[in-house]
Every structure is written in C-alpha cells, then in structure tokens.
Structure 1
Amino acid sequence: MLNELLGILDKFGLSAEKRPLSALFSSKELNQKLYAQHFSGRSAVNESMRAQLLCFSTDSTIPLKRFIACQIAVDQRTDDGRIFRTTGIITEAVQGASDGALISYLLTIEDPLSLLNHRKNSRVFLNKNEIEVIEILHKEWCQRSRVYAASNQLDLRGLNENYEIKTQITQYNETDFQFLKRLLARISVNFIQKEQHAFVASFSTDIQAKKLSLFDQNQFLNQLSRQNIRFHRSDATERFDSITQISAKRMMQATQVHLQRWRSDFIDQEQTQKTSKHQHSENISNFGSGLELSYAITPASINDLNQKDGADRADILHLEKLAKNQTLMLDQLAKVFVAKSTVRDAEVGCWFELLGYTQIDQHRGADNEYIITSKEFFNQNNLPKDLNYQCQCLVEESNWLDKLVGFNGERQGNILNLQRREVPVLPIYDPILDRPKAHPMHARVTGEQGETVYVDEWSRIKVRYLFSRSEDNVHASNAGSSETDRDSAWVEVLTNFAGKGFGSRYLPRVGELVLLDHIDGDIDRPIVVGRIHESERYPSKFDDKGKLPDTRYLSGVRSQEINASGYNQLRFDDTTGQISAQLQSSYAVSQLNLGKLSHPKEKEKSDDRGEGFELRTDQWGQSGQVLVYC
C-alpha cells in the first residue's frame, strides 16, 4: 500500500527528490515504511530544538521503541532548489488513528543536547572553569552514549574571552542539561546546536553529527548563505522566500546594575555599578530613570592561601564583568524584532541583511543587519486533494491539530525573533534565581594521609561530599571521592566566637560527620555549621561512662587525645540535688571538682561522695606562691 501511495505521489510530480519535505531515518527499515507529511517546531539560541514530524504508513505494526533514539534528517526544498537539512534524535513516538489503509505516526524530534535532560546527577569539579567542565561533560557523554557520540560534536572556536578558574563548581540534583545551561549563562556564553552542513546534495545524503557551538561574541556568528532577505508583502505569486511582515517591540528595562559581595580577604563589602550606554528612552536619561537592579550576590570564593590549587584569586574585575554583562543583557531585552517569513533556510544563530523595508532602509551598516535568535516554523507536502483529505481526517481523529502548527493553513512559513547584529547576544541570567536550591547536607571530614586534624591558617577544612561517586571523578584521578584532601575546596567552619586571635576553637577531625549549609544559598559556597552524632558515632560520654538518655542531665565538652585514648573534659552536672562542675584531664586523673560531689554517672543519679571542692591528681601538684586550704 505504501508503494501505491508513493506511486500516486510520483504521478503528481512529488517523487522523493521533488517533494518540498522529506525525511531520512538512520534505520533503513523505517525509510521504507514511512512518508513524512508535516514538520513543525521551534529552535532558539541557548535552547534545545523541539519539533514534530507527522508521518503516514501502511504498516500499523511498527514497534514504537524502534523510533526512540533513532537519528533522523528532515530535508526541505528551498526557493532556489537547494536542500536545507535539520537533523535530530527521535525522543517520542505516538501511534495515531488508522482508516484501514493508512495509519498516522507523530514523532518528536530534539537536538542531541536534549539527551542531557535524561541524566540527573550531583558531583563536584575542582579548580576548573565552566568551559573545562563542559568539555568533561561532553567527553563523558561521548563515552557513555553511542547515540550522543554519533550525533554531536563540541565546537569551541567561538570563544574569545578568558574564564576564571573556580575553586569549586558543584552540580546538585540537576540534569546535565540544566547544569550546562546554568554554567554557560553565568559566564555569558551562548550555545547553539548547528548542522555540520546546512545544505546537502540530495535527500539520501548520510546523516552527519551536529555541532554544539559555544560563542561569546557576535563576530563568531555566520551570515546566512543567501546573505540577505528581501521584505515583500504576502503575495501568492511570489517566487522567492521573503519576510512578509515585521514589527519592532521596545520594552522598559533597568538602565543601571549594581552588584556587591563580601570579600573575606578584605573583611569588607566589594561593589561596582554599571550604566547602560544604550538609549532606552527619549523621555528619561539612563542616569535619571531610577530603574536599577541591585544584587547582593554570593561572597567571593577564597582559594588556597598558598595558591596550591591553581584557582584564580577573587578580583574586582570579575565583579565588573558580571555587572557589564547584566547591563548588556538588559539592552538586548529592551528591543526585539518579530518577523513573519517564508524563508525555509532561515538558520537560527546566523545573521542577514534586510532589504526593501522602508522604515529600516534609512539605516546603514550593522543597523540593517539582523541575527535570528529564534524560529517557530512549519512546512508540509502539498498532497493531491483526495489524499490530503484522507490525511486530515486521520489527524483530526488523532486529536493532533493543536500540536501541528499551520496544518490547515499555508503550506509553509515561520516566525523569526530578530535583534540587530550590533547588539550582543547574551543568555538570560539572574544571579540569584538561576541556581539550584541548596539545603543542609552531610559531609565527611577529610585530610592528608596520616593527619587527624587537617586545617589551613583560617581553620578551614576539607570534606568529602557523600553524593560524589567514583565513576564521576575518573577525569580527576578520583579527586572528589578519594577520602583525601583532594575531595573539595577549603570549607569554612562556623564558630560561635571569632575574634582577632581569640575566640572558641573546636576543629572537626578527619572522619567526622559534619553538616554543611550554604552561604546565600549558593551550592558552590559551603560552610560547616555543625557536627552530627549518628549510629555508632554516639554523643559525648563523660568519664567514659554511661549513655543517653540515662545521663541526660550532664552537659559540657569532652575532647579526645590524638591517636590515643586520653581525653580532657569540662563537665556540668545539673542533676537535682547533685549539681556540680568538673575540669578534668584523664592524664594522672587530674581533676578540679566543685559543688555537690558525686561518683561519675552511669545512670540518672550516682552516690554522693562529699561537698565543696576537690583538687586531686595521681601525680604531683605545685603552686608558685601559696596554696591555702582549711
């Protein structure tokens, strides 16, 4: 029956090589069983493409799992006869209605990058910048996923800036796609999935891998192959693709950005302010508008005090760069252009010169050049009337009309979002909202081999994040899950008394469990807020006797001798009728006991043994002047 269908199309001059729309699957079997009729979707800079392909077949027994993860190329014949190709991976397949002769299939096609949505993880990267982390992710995906490796390549040629090496970058309960998008947005790097070759020689040309292209300046964007697009109002007799409608939209935005953050090395707040150089309004100046975004962002990270980690030191230039990029982002949002077009090869991430539009022709140079930042598109084959009606009935019976843009309207078209080429393209980023939610979490104290207490001059420690898995740290020789000082950046420890050279000091020891919270809710800025007793790590046993809840009226501090069994303790006994205090060193059982003296408690109460005070030791005692007692 499919051969009969294709034969009918051939008679109407719609052979595979002449159809406006055709699909090529990486599966030869699917190529023999499916006819592509309608293609629609959306693609944009800093987003993954998502499209729908409507197909018909005479075979109702095709297993839907045969579609999933299959590579596909959708080819569209352009106005100049060339073949414009869009490739992707099938991520969803739905079997629709059948009339006994034909059956409908609706396929969802996405970029290879969409595969990253199906892997969620938590892990730590140390002493790397965001681009290095992206390279690690890409390499891992190529090793773990045959489909990804065959369909995606990383292209870094569009990067010109230098990026700060961070002491620690943390992925926390995020998909790899969310993580990648967040990292790139915070350093103002754009990404786009591009074809290796936007045009192919024939519909049967082999499917090639796409490119994940990163860029930080507009100069790295290519011009459309047709170079310019003509404005021409909609006309049924128009021979060439054109823009048929265009409108400009301007929106009020903040014109000033103020950023501030804490600098531990300065013991002071660091701040900067930037004002837009773009004229947002003829009625108010950028300085006098009062429209300002002021952020108190995460404190600057402090790396190894001896620079052993190789991370970049915090610098006011980093803060100024973020403020500048925030200002440029607001300039970008202030004015956009929306165009209705029939240009089938309008490629997202490319620029063109617009011709023939009176209101814009008065501009010169870059003012008349536009970058395509997003595209919503549809295209369909022009079937014979009876066959077209048959297909329409199947679509309506499948309830797919709302999913197929332009199905009952014009044969093809698109909506383009444009911005002037001279305006930098930047990802939308909020330094407060665009980060994962960070909650208190467990960690284990680590250190150099043989060390029991491992700290730096600021009393910071190293920890092992318990979520960090060895298989995720192969790239770093297991750093992150090695149970050594290589598992984290230096982590601050909260104390209840911290003066200049004075205060309280209780340093966590290697192997102890601590509770991490996060400064300003930033997952990359952990701080130890306490330690936890769990399971066999039972609470303090004063005098090495008793246990809770029997000894619940005792409080105080007990330490542990390094690599031995001795201890020191300050113990308060608030038991009714036996209130006392004790300062003790287990060495020579040296004690100062005060109050109602009693034997060490193993239960709620113990036997009395006197009143007043007791100063005793199994060794010698000494006084520099006089020791008076009576």
Structure 2
Amino acid sequence: MPLIEIENDKLSVMDAFPLSFTTREHISGNPVYKLEFQVADADLDLSALLGEVIKVRIELPEAAGYRTYFTYVVAGADEGQRQNQFVYSLEMSTWLWFLMQNRNCRIFQNISAIDIIEQIFERYNFADYRIDLEGTYLPREYCVQFEETDFNFVSRLMEDEGVWYYFDHSEENNTLVITDRQHFPVLEGNYAELSFLPDSEEQRAIRESIQRIQRTNRIHSSEVVLRDFDFINPRNTLQTQIEESRAHLQGIPLEWYDYAAGYTDIQEGDTIARLRLEAMQSNNQLLIGESNAAGLIAGYAFDLVQHPDPGRNRGFKLISCDYTYLQDGPDSASQGRNISCRFRALNDDIPFRPLCLTKRPQVSGSQSATVVGAEQSEVHTDQYARIRVHFHWDRYKTTEEDCSCWIRVVQAWAGKGWGVVAMPRVGQEVLVTYIDGDLDRPMVTGIVYNGENPPPYRLPEYINYSGLVSRSLRFGQPQHASQLTFDDNRGNERVMLHAERDLQKTVERNNASAVGQDKYETVARTSTDWFTNHVSYKDMNFSITGMNFSFTGLNASATMLNFYFNGFEVGCVPVGTYFSGINTSFVGVGTHFTGLSTSFTGAANSMTGVSNSMTGCSNSFTGVSNSITGSSHSITGFSSSLTGCSVSETGHSSSMTGSSESFTGSSFSSTGSSVSQTGSSVSTTGSSISVTGSSVSTTGSSIGVTGSSISATGSSISATGSSISTTGSSISTTGSSVSATGSSISTTGSSISTTGSSIAVTGVAISYNGVQYADCGIDLKTVGMQSKN
C-alpha cells in the first residue's frame, strides 16, 4: 500500500501519483501544505486546480487506518521532469487561508472579540469552526478593522484575548477549534504515549517513537507592568503589574512595560498583564524533538516515556508539527517510504498563550469623517461633549446615529467647568486622529469647510474678515446667526458684534468704556437703565430729539440730594412725557444752577403747596397756563414779564419785596387772598381787577392801573415798596396769599395753570445763573442721585 494517497476527480483522471507531502502546522497559525505529484501531461492546466479540494491520506502503521488532511489548492507550479513523467507541486491550505485574501474596513461596537470573530466567519459559507472556551470575554465598546485582512484581524483579536486555535481534519472538512483550555486533548490510540528511542536503536525503523529531544530555555521578562488612562475617571491610577513566582537572575531587572494596553478597569488590566507574562513563559521554555510517528497533531497532548532523564518522562503539549512524507514512484522496485516530524512541545504544567505577533494597523495623519446624529437632530452630543461620526471609508453605515462610538472633541480650552464649547453639528466634516495610534481610541481634532458647508464670509472677496459666526438652531438659515466679526481693512478697522435676538451682558464690578469720538445708540422701542447706587455725569452735552417718556405708578424719594449744573445745556425737541400715579418726595435736596437759561414752549405745569426761592433769575413764559394752589413763593430781586397770561390762585400767599410787576391786557381774580407788597411798583394798563372781601395794604408803593379789570374777593393784598404794572391783564386770585418783596415779575402773553398737582420740596436750594434750559413735554425723575458737573 502506498504511504500517500490523494483524492480529487481532476487529478484522478490524470493518473496523478503523489511523491511527497509536507505540512506546516502550529497553534494560532494557518496550516500550509505542499503536495508533489507526477503525471504524463507536460502541459497541465494548473489554474483548473485552484480552489479545488484535495484530500490527502497518510497510511498509519499496523493497519490503524489513515490520517486525512482536508485541503484547498491555493497555488501550483512546475517542478520539472522525471524520466517520462512531469512533476508538479501544489500549495494547499485550510479554509482559513481565504481570509488572507479579503481586506476590509469595518466597525464593531459593544460585542466581544469572540462575537466579532463569528461575524467575520459568517462571510465564508464553507467555514467550519468550533468554539471551546472556559473564560468569559467582555464586550468591546469599539473595535475597528482598518485596511487589514480578515485573517490578520481575527488573529489579532485572539492574541489580545489570549485564546488560540488549531485544526481538526476529517473526510468531510477541516474544523477550526478556538479554545483557551490549558488541558489539551490527548492524542488518540498509540499516540497518547510515545517512547523515546534514540537513532541507534534498531527498533526505530519498525516502531513509531521519538528519536531526538532538545530542550530550549531563554531568558525572558519576569515582570509585566501595564498602565492606561481613563478620561471619565482621570484620577484613577490604572497601573498594574505581575511578576513570575519563580523569578531568576536576582538583581537584574527584567521588566516589560507597556502603556495604552486598552483597559479602563484595574482588574481587566491584571488579566491582560497575566496573559502577557504567560505568553512570554510558554514561548521560552520549549522542547524540540523529532519523531517518525505519523499521528502527532498540534493542539493535542501526549506522554513521553523511557527517557533517561526522569524529568522528561511527563506530559507535553504539542505547539507545532512539521511533517515530511516521502514515497518512491510507482515504478520503483523498493517502494521506499519515509515519515519524519519535527515538533515543538511545552510542559503540560506551563500555561500556553499566543504571543502578540500580528501588527496592529496604523494610520498616518488624520482621517476625514462626517458628524451624525439622531434623526432631525442638529447637535448630537452627550455629557462629555462627545460626538459621533461616519467615517468615509465605512461602507456598512451611512448617516445612522450609531456609526461610531462617542468621540471626544478637541476644544481651544477645556477646564473644570470652564473653557470653550463649540460642538460640531450634524453634517459637518471633521478630522479624526487616534490616541496613542490606537484605532479603537479616536479623537476629533479639527473641523473643516467643504462644498456643503462653506465659510460664513464670501472668500476671497472678504479676506479682511475674521471672527466667529454661529447658526440658529431649528435649521436656521445663513442669515439666522449671531456673530463677532473683525474687519482688518486698513484705515477702516472695526469690530462687529451681532446678536440674532437678545444680548445679555453682566459685569461683576466695574465697566469702563472709552470712546475716542462719537457714540451712537438707537433703541427701537424701550430703553431701561437701572441704577442702584451713584450716578455721575461730567462735561456732558445731551441732545434728545423725538423722545417719549412714560412713567406709571412711580414712587421716587430723594434725601439730602445735591445737584450741581455748571454750563449745562439740555435740548429736547418735540418730546412727550407722561406721568401717571407718580409720587415724588424730595427731603433735604439742594439744586444749584449757575448761568442756567430755561425756556418752556407750550408747557403745562401743575404745582400744589410749592415753595420756591429764586434769586437773580429771569424767566420767559409764552402761552403758558399755570395753576397754583396752596403755594408759598418768596421772590427777591425778581423780574417777571407776563403777556396775555391768565393766572388763577386759590389760597395763595405771596410776599414780594422790591419787586416790579408789569401786566398788560391781564385779568386778575383774587378771592380771600392776602397780598403784601413793600417798595413795589405795580402798573396795570387796560386791566380789569375785581377785589372781593380782600385786604390790600400798600406802603410806599406806586400802583398804576390802565384799562385793567381787577377783581379781588375776600383777599388781603399787602404791597410795600412795590411797583406793579399790568397791561391788558386779567388776574383772578381766590383765597390766595401773595407776598412779593423786592421782586420784579414780568409776564407777557403767558398762561400759567396749576391744577391738582402735588409737589413737595423741602429744604431745597435752587440757583440758576446764566443757564439756558429747554424742556418740552419732558418727565425728569431723579431718585437717590447726586450729579455734579
């Protein structure tokens, strides 16, 4: 019987005869097989054999049957000619080899590494595998396969988790076994126990055994230290270390340190450190041997017996098995056959772990991505100001909310409750880099404009603009934005601040503003200033045009208030002021006007119970109507001119000293009034005076009444040293007391009416010197304020 048999329909037709068969099988590695055969065809179509299944059977001794290798042809080559036969070689492997030919970019979220591996295998309908695990493997929040083959990806995942795989062959398939069990299955039949028989033993040719054993041992790191960082708990020191219990080479540091090992829990870190140390131990204490036994399989265990060193008569785990099967051609008389196996084994009490040999993918530079979010959302973020994105290389997702994990965003400032927050919005393009080069740890480091998201300024037209422009939510248009823009146009530099709706400004202490030239402020509706302390204006010139003031239910109180106006000019042109239900009380208020000129046109004032003291003042009233009730006036050295005025005084007491009064075309009515004039001159022309029940006392006075009508009823008038001149005037005083001492009052064409007004001024000093003051329909309210100019 031949040692090697092959089964394949296409090869059977060609009468292919196998010459040799070699294998390279090791744990956590894809097997590679090579078959050499001869046929009579000099032009064999090797491409027709690619992908074909070839079963290779190896005859076991003592009629124990066959050992079958279920393989796929992946390559073929010519090997030359032997006599009249042509030799070809085929490279074969398992179904796992096809994973090397598929490179992909894919994102997995919230599933374990084992689940990810199963999802990868789902693409291959011929994949046959079995998962045999003892440990529990936690879900990974985010795991990326980027520009790496499916084979490299699954190999990397298994190395990370400390699991490995091997193959079981049968007549129907080759089965991939994924496991973490440290108790390897035992070889079947006579291979469970193998004797050590050196080369010199005569029984070697007729008995399967182990002929050579070579121990290897290398110095390796005896301590593993890992460290990582968790941004959610940045104060946690995620450092862990584990060292070999039987450390050697005392005094020599043998520490393996690795940062960013990929964990956020210290217990998880301990597990990873243990796996790394076990991998170093298992690959540095190996037994290398040679055997003629045909049944050795990587991933299985056997016992060695009859070795002169008792320490080696023990159980071993097979890590790798490389076979060479040779047989002579069909025409050979000798029909020689040869089996040799070179293997590597590990003491069965040493845990096996695969080394992390598969390289992780690296990304040079940044990657571009688009921000995604929930349906109809504009800003999609979480409590840590993270976003989600869709990578442009991801072909399995488009704009779904879960295209990626939550990714942190680099900001200009980031502190403990302070900093800059400018969240990229759904649809914007961002740039992503990776922390420590780990694709599973993305970080958004920038945001860029593109064809759908142009800059807020038209470029290159407005290259002089720079600044910040926001966009109103609820799908606002470009014009719906607040902005801070800097215009750097030389000679016309400016800063533009725009609030799309409201602008709120809070200053905890001082607010200083310096305007080099003019200040313009336009308020479309209402302007409100609220002062809770001291207000001071210096060297101010106010001009108010078309202003309307309205005060309702206002209560103002001023105590010991002093006003100083020096060279102060206020101009108000068609201004309307309205007071409703206002109560103003001034206590101990002193107002001083020097050089003040006040002009009232078309004004109506109402004062009740007011006491005014004016010295050296000149007033001009035109078309003014005053009504004064229960008022007391003291006027010294005062000159008044009233023309066309109507004065109604009730319960009024006036005292005039050294006054000169001139009334023209006036009508006076006094009822129950007392007038005292000393050294006054009164001149009335064309006037009508009616005095009823009045007492008039004039001492040293000159009274001239021309064409006047004077009516005084129940009045007491005392004029001493006064001069009163009324021309065309009508004066009516009822129940008034008027006292003018040394005063001069001139009213021309004035109408003064004071009705139902309540003005209380106590302890007030008002001085007007050379001041011009014009108020038209203005309401002026000063509460608790001191103003000096």
TM-score range, shorter chain: 0.7 to 0.9
RMSD: 2.8
For the pair 1:97 / 2:80, whether they are aligned, the reply is yes
Map 1:448-459; keep pairs closer than 5 Å: 448-459=374-385
The answer to whether the Cα contact below 8 Å between 1:121 and 1:174 also exists between their aligned partners in 2 is: yes
Map 1:431-442; keep pairs closer than 5 Å: 434-439=359-364, 440-442=366-368
Q: 1:70 to 1:623 in 2, by over 3 A?
A: farther
Q: 1:346 to 1:363 in 2, by over 3 A?
A: closer
Which structure ranks higher in relative contact order (CA pairs < 8 Å, sequence separation ≥ 6)? 1
The answer to whether the Cα contact below 8 Å between 2:3 and 2:59 also exists between their aligned partners in 1 is: yes
Matching residue's letter, 1:106: S
Map 1:11-410; keep pairs closer than 5 Å: 18-25=1-8, 27-28=9-10, 30=12, 32-81=14-63, 82-98=65-81, 101-142=84-125, 149=126, 152-156=127-131, 158-195=132-169, 197=170, 207-225=171-189, 226-234=191-199, 235=201, 238=204, 239-268=206-235, 269-277=237-245, 279=246, 281=248, 284-285=249-250, 288-298=251-261, 300=263, 314-359=264-309, 361-362=310-311, 368-383=314-329
| SS of match in other structure, 1:260 | strand
Deviation at 1:423, TM superposition (A): 1.1
Distance 1:240 1:618 in 2: 109
Which is greater in Rg? Answer: 2
Deviation at 1:618, TM superposition (A): 5.8
Q: Deviations for 1:379-413, whole angstroms, at most 9, x for unmatched residues?
A: 11133786999xxxxxxxxxxxxxxxxxxx98331
Q: 1:341 to 1:501 in 2, by over 3 A?
A: same
Distance 2:202 2:2 in 1: 19
The answer to whether the Cα contact below 8 Å between 1:255 and 1:289 also exists between their aligned partners in 2 is: no
Q: 1:498 to 1:616 in 2, by over 3 A?
A: farther
Q: Which residue of 1 aligns with 2:631?
A: none
The answer to whether the Cα contact below 8 Å between 2:187 and 2:297 also exists between their aligned partners in 1 is: no
Q: Deviations for 1:423-476, whole angstroms, at most 9, x for unmatched residues?
A: 11111027xx84211342111111111211011111111111222223xxxxxx
Deviation at 1:524, TM superposition (A): 0.6
Matching residue's letter, 1:538: P
Report percent identity of matched pairs: 20
For the pair 1:523 / 2:439, whether they are aligned, the reply is yes
Q: 1:613 to 1:532 in 2, by over 3 A?
A: farther
The answer to whether the Cα contact below 8 Å between 1:189 and 1:216 also exists between their aligned partners in 2 is: yes
Where does structure 1 lack aligned partners over 5 or more consecutive residues?
Answer: 1-17, 143-148, 198-206, 301-313, 390-408, 471-480, 598-609
Q: Which residue of 2 aligns with 1:6?
A: none
Distance 2:158 2:536 in 1: 71
Q: Which residue of 2 aligns with 1:579?
A: 493
For the pair 1:624 / 2:530, whether they are aligned, the reply is yes
> Whose strand proportion is higher, 1 or 2?
2
The answer to whether the Cα contact below 8 Å between 2:328 and 2:337 also exists between their aligned partners in 1 is: no
| SS of match in other structure, 1:223 | coil
Please identify, of 618-627 and 236-245, the stretch whose mean Cα deviation from structure 2 is larger.
Answer: 618-627
Matching residue's letter, 1:560: R
Matching residue's letter, 2:476: A
Where does structure 2 lack aligned partners over 5 or more consecutive residues?
Answer: 506-512, 542-789
Deviation at 1:506, TM superposition (A): 0.3
Normalised TM-score (structure 1): 0.77
The answer to whether the Cα contact below 8 Å between 2:17 and 2:330 also exists between their aligned partners in 1 is: no
Matching residue's letter, 2:256: L
The answer to whether the Cα contact below 8 Å between 1:252 and 1:280 also exists between their aligned partners in 2 is: no
Deviation at 1:219, TM superposition (A): 1.8
The answer to whether the Cα contact below 8 Å between 1:584 and 1:590 also exists between their aligned partners in 2 is: no
The answer to whether the Cα contact below 8 Å between 2:184 and 2:300 also exists between their aligned partners in 1 is: no
Distance 2:359 2:528 in 1: 64
Distance 2:15 2:529 in 1: 101
Aligned residues: 519
Distance 2:122 2:59 in 1: 35
Distance 2:521 2:22 in 1: 88
Q: 1:540 to 1:57 in 2, by over 3 A?
A: same
Deviation at 1:29, TM superposition (A): 5.3
| SS of match in other structure, 2:141 | strand
Q: Which residue of 1 aligns with 2:770?
A: none
Q: 1:453 to 1:186 in 2, by over 3 A?
A: same
| SS of match in other structure, 2:340 | strand
> Whose helix proportion is higher, 1 or 2?
1
Q: 1:539 to 1:376 in 2, by over 3 A?
A: same
| SS of match in other structure, 1:33 | coil
Distance 1:162 1:233 in 2: 44
